Amino acid sequence: MHTTTITGSQRWRRSRAPLPHGHWPARNFRAVTTSPSAVLFDLDGTLVDTIGLILGSMTHAFAGRERAPTDAWWLSQLGRPLPFMLGAWAEDDADAAHLIARYREHQGAEHDNLIRAYPDALEVVHELHARGHALGVVTSKGVRMATKALDWAGMTRYMSVIVGLESTLVHKPDPAPVRFALDALKADAAHAWMIGDSPFDLQAGRGAGTRTCGALWGPFDRATLEGERPDALAHGMRDLLEIVA
């Protein structure tokens, strides 16, 4: 298959069309002439804005405790499984279970009140699906809550696979969840994309052999995502229509 290598001093062109504003391919990006067989998305911070819900649930879980994470620490771990994040602050396994229950109590009660849609997210997912891309979600959240968020956003019908906490024994940044999704879709990793807002998403995708795209609208800054050397960076959801075309 013919490929074109684009260096940092060149601009990526598709059918000689100019690169859209806000799309920043990483150095040595390889623009492939055939459409990818699959597009995998992270959920929180990528498809839906749940940052307020996540921080509110964390605050609820640790209410009244002297030892508690800061908002900055919590967001720095976004993309890792909840048991891992809470376990870092728990006294023991029983305490971790208590914190998880408290977190999920607030998460369930306030879900629809605090979740927000990212601009153009639903429209872009619809368009990618209409173009024939197989779509999936790879998240460290449980499948039930992930589906609830996708239902709220109107995206569930477009997703052929939802990989969550209980789907694999190990989780992002390990590539196992991405490989699980690719296997479910019978998709070739080399022609697939993993799109996410955290370094853990990009590490997982790269480890599984996919191309990776950093979502700059999430809580992680550009420098953090660039440090993972993704194949592309997107400023907004609409950039994805060019990146994965």
Query: In which element (H, E) is residue 57 found?
Result: helix 51-61
Q: What is the C-alpha separation between 98 and 183, in angstroms, rounded? A: 35
The answer to whether residues 208 and 179 touch, using CB atoms and an 8 Å cutoff, is yes
93 contact partners, CB below 8 Å, separation of at least 6: none
CA 210/CA 189 separation, integer angstroms: 5
**Amino acid identity for residue 90 in this structure:** A
> Checking DSSP bridges between strand 23-25 and strand 232-234, what pairing results, if any?
antiparallel
Which amino acid makes up residue 83? P
Tokens 């890792």 label which residue? Answer: 80
Active site residue 120: no
Q: Kind of pairing, strands 3-6 and 29-32?
A: antiparallel
Q: What are phi and psi of 16, to 5 degrees?
A: 65, 15
* Chain position carrying tokens 């960076």: 233
| Of 42, 197, 201, 231, catalytic | 42
**Both structure tokens of 44:** 């929180």
Pairing of strands 134-138, 161-163: parallel
* Main-chain dihedrals φ then ψ at residue 13, nearest 5 degrees: -125, 135
Q: Active-site positions?
A: 42
